[in-house]
Amino acid sequence: MATITLPKTEYEILERKAELYSQLLEKEEKSFPVEIYSLQRIREFLKGDNLSIKDKNKVKRILKNR
């Protein structure tokens, strides 16, 4: 592990940013709970996520023109 040296003011700024990020993530976690999916549920999502060739081409055209 490498050691770095920071001026105290820069360290305090980084520490405050880390605290703010932590608070933000905690708030999001409470607002938007994370769901852990089983392998079977992921397979169900993938199975239902199939587009026809016609629809895939339409999406590609739309994205290409953006």
Q: Does residue 12 form part of some domain?
A: yes
Q: Does residue 49 form part of some domain?
A: yes
Q: Does residue 1 form part of some domain?
A: no
Tell whether pTM > 0.75. Answer: no
Residue 29 has a pLDDT of: 64
Q: Token pair of 36, please?
A: 């852990």
- pLDDT tens profile 17-41: 999 988 888 776 667 777 889 999 9
Residue 24 has a pLDDT of: 83
Q: Does residue 2 form part of some domain?
A: no
Q: Show Cβ contacts of residue 6 under 8 Å, excluding neighbours closer than 6 positions.
A: 14
Domain membership of residue 58 as a residue range: 8-64
Number of domains observed in the structure of the chain = 1
